[in-house]
Amino acid sequence: MVIYLADLAHTHSVNNASLTVPLNIGYIKAYAMAAHGESVDISLFKHPEELLARVEERKPDIVGLANYGWNANLNRAIGTYLRQCLPEALFVAGGPNIDPDPERRMNFLKQHGYLDFLVIDGGEETFSELIDWHRNGRRDFGALPSNLVWRNGETICDSGERTLTKVIENIPSPYLAGYLDDFLEAGMVPLFETNRGCPFQCTFCAWGSASKNLVRRFHQDISIAEIEYVGARSQSLNWIVCDANFGILTRDVEIAKAIRCAKDRYNAPQKCHIWLAKNVTERNLQIGEILGDMAVPVMAVQSLNDQVLKNIKRGNISTETYVEYQKKFHSIGSATSSDVIVPLPGETLDTHIETLHKLFDFDVDGVYSYNMRLLAGAETNATDTRQKYGFRSRYRLIHGDAGAYLAPNGTIIRCFEYEESPRETTTMSETELFYLRKLHFIVDFFWNTNVYKPLLKVLKAHGINPIDVMKRFIAYTAPSDGTQKNLRLSEFWETFDRMSHEEWFDTEEEIEAYFANEENFQRLLNQEFEKLNILFSVIVLRDYKQDFDHALRQVALAYGKVPEELIEQASHLTIATFPALNTPTQEKVLELPASLVKLGKETTASFQSDSRIETIRLIEGPLRQKIKEIILDTKGQTLSKVLNTQRIMLKDLGFIIEKTDVTTSSDQ
């Protein structure tokens, strides 16, 4: 029996180094091969055109598709085409982004009319048993394995659920079996899954749905063997651990050591993305020490408002523990980051800004804000939740996830992905969300990207919270009363606001009709639509850096709380370490207060004015040049996706500070 499994990705605008290894369908194959042996011939696919070409060469009996929010339309387009080519084949899809509500399941199956079955929750056992059912003539629906959903006319049917166990005993490793070697050799980003599921029940997330909020673990020895296997074969500098709460199990410390060992032995990975456990402070700290600069500990809060947290069924660690956590990570030299989401149920503009204010008080090094997506499979996507909190949703592109794929018969299959997000709730208006679009951009550009962090740290050391400075900056450069202090900055914000509004569509039909237009779709293929934070960060660094420098300096001086000389010195350091893109690359030498230089790598709590003068040299690092080349050379590629999958950030455009051997004392 010939079986094709596909974890399809949009490959039009990225190369293999920006794609992830299809670990998901690797598990499906590994289990099926162990159960059926040579009676099945299973091939794995990531590229749409490779799947289309193979179907033309050899027709499969079964086609299985991994379904997610970021490839659902690609699956629909490719699946619809393949169904015409393969009228007798069995088509199956599975993944976490499938709603439990029968009406929504019906809508999905109507949209994806090529499908015979949906696999709910874990798919290895179900898919393997479905192979037997198909081989036996696919007539007895009473003999179907559990965890299946299908459509019978206007009725949704299911085969019940199977019981899960805490330890995953029966699923072989696709890495150790060699089933993913081709993808490793192609340079794709390795994924690792040492456990499955999430014990938490956050309503905006579907991560734990497949495991029913149970943490199911693979054997430690297998996970460590996989790390060694991949380390010896992969050229990718970036790895991703897919556990929802890495560190939740005691043995995760040993797994972290294995990752560190792989880097020490093979000089890869350079970066390893992990999501740390929510409530395991000491173990997370230990993991942070082991991984060092390979990973930035992400301690997401989403919100710090008690009522909002109750609404989304999330329990954060206490504020005191969180602050202590920050201090401990900083003491071992680790940067920290946190995530927040808007508009969560019950969140207001004031409570969200209060959360941002607290995170800056806590000395979090990176504060990242995200729009809440209405994900299939998550409780926030349910009809009653939408009604309870007054969600009015709209749609926008998922940037970089679009393409035109050529079938062997000359058919061009065009598709793109989009997401649905609330743009109004009972407690937050869309006007407020557009204001937060500005504020979040400034947080990302000023703080997360490090462009103005030295100056903001000096202000913070004098009792001025960075979020208040950023709000004042917006008020100063984009005043709501229509006055214009700086014509160039007014033009900048007008463009920002226009594009912030234009990226949203009221309905699925509207966004699909817009990109059905040939000219608009070609612009999409040419990557003329980019994530606004990335796009406008580049625009500022290229065209408006001096305007931003001057405006922020004026805002800082207006507080009257910091000595003007210190503001001038901090501004000088800030501008020199993060100049405009067209700044010549020669080294710079600065003489600055030692405490100001030290502040660049430490939290503001330890800042004290210092009369000693230190000489530093600023040099352009290799990553700055690499990112400049990426910015110039990504025509036809999505800059945000290239940067994300390569684990390169715009903050790497900053100059590197090197101390000289000269330290003098001032005459004062």
- Residues with Cβ < 8 Å from 469, sequence gap 6 or more? 456, 459, 552, 555, 556
Task: Give the model's pLDDT for residue 209.
Answer: 60
pLDDT at 666 exceeding the cut of 70: no
CA dist., res. 376 & res. 204, Å (int): 10
Supply φ then ψ for residue 133, to 5 degrees.
-60, -45
In DSSP notation, 14-72 reads --GGGSBP-HHHHHHHHHHHHHHGGG-EEEEE-SHHHHHHHHHHS--SEEEEE--TTTH
- pLDDT above 70 as % of the chain: 92
Contact (Cβ atoms closer than 8 angstroms) between residue 97 and residue 75:
no
Task: Give the model's pLDDT for residue 637.
Answer: 54
pLDDT at 64 exceeding the cut of 70: yes
Q: What is the tens place of the pLDDT at every residue in 76-132? A: 999 999 999 999 999 999 998 888 899 999 999 999 999 999 999 889 999 999 999
Could you tell me the CA-to-CA distances from 11 to 7, 8, 172, 192 in Å, in that order? 12, 9, 29, 22
Task: Give the model's pLDDT for residue 280.
Answer: 61
Q: What is the tens place of the pLDDT at every residue in 520-545? A: 999 998 878 888 999 899 999 989 99
Average pLDDT over residues 61-81: 96
Q: Pick the residue with more confidence: 597 or 455?
A: 455
Choice among 6-15, 134-143, 429-438, 446-455 with the minimum mean pLDDT? 134-143
pTM > 0.85: yes
Task: Give the model's pLDDT for residue 89.
Answer: 96
Helix, strand, coil in percent for the chain, rounding step 5:
45, 20, 35
CA dist., res. 373 & res. 381, Å (int): 9
pLDDT at 641 exceeding the cut of 70: no
Q: What is the tens place of the pLDDT at every residue in 280-339? A: 678 888 998 899 888 877 788 999 999 999 999 988 888 888 888 888 888 887 888 999
| Structure-token pair, residue 506 | 């009221």
Burial readout 541-553 (b: 16 or more C-beta within 10 A, e: otherwise): beebbebbbebbb
Supply the mean pLDDT for the chain. 90
- Tell me the domains of the chain and their CATH numbers: 2-120+122-158 (3.40.50.280), 164-381 (3.20.20.70)
Choice among 167-171, 175-179, 236-240, 470-474 with the minimum mean pLDDT? 167-171
Average pLDDT over residues 404-412: 96
643 pLDDT band (50/70/90 cuts)? low
Q: What is the tens place of the pLDDT at every residue in 550-590? A: 999 999 999 999 999 999 999 999 999 999 988 877 778 88
CA dist., res. 342 & res. 386, Å (int): 15
Average pLDDT over residues 487-510: 95
Task: With CA atoms as reference, report the closest residue to 263 among 288, 237, 282.
Answer: 237
- Residues with Cβ < 8 Å from 354, sequence gap 6 or more? 304, 305
- Residues with Cβ < 8 Å from 380, sequence gap 6 or more? 203, 204, 312, 345, 372, 374, 386, 391
Choice among 110-124, 600-614, 644-658 with the minimum mean pLDDT? 600-614
pLDDT at 465 exceeding the cut of 90: yes
215 pLDDT band (50/70/90 cuts)? confident
Q: Identify which of 69-73, 178-182, 295-299, 602-606 has the greatest average pLDDT.
A: 178-182
- Residues with Cβ < 8 Å from 139, sequence gap 6 or more? none
Neighbours of 52 (CB within 10 A): 21
- pLDDT above 90 as % of the chain: 65
In DSSP notation, 178-217 reads TTTHHHHHTTPBPEE-SEE--S---TT--TTGGGTT--EE
Average pLDDT over residues 252-269: 95
CA dist., res. 43 & res. 370, Å (int): 36
Q: What is the tens place of the pLDDT at every residue in 153-204? A: 999 999 998 887 777 888 999 999 999 999 999 999 999 999 988 877 888 8
pLDDT at 667 exceeding the cut of 50: no
Give the strand pairing for 366-371 and 392-406. Answer: unpaired
Contact (Cβ atoms closer than 8 angstroms) between residue 239 and residue 270:
no
pLDDT at 601 exceeding the cut of 70: no
Average pLDDT over residues 203-218: 73
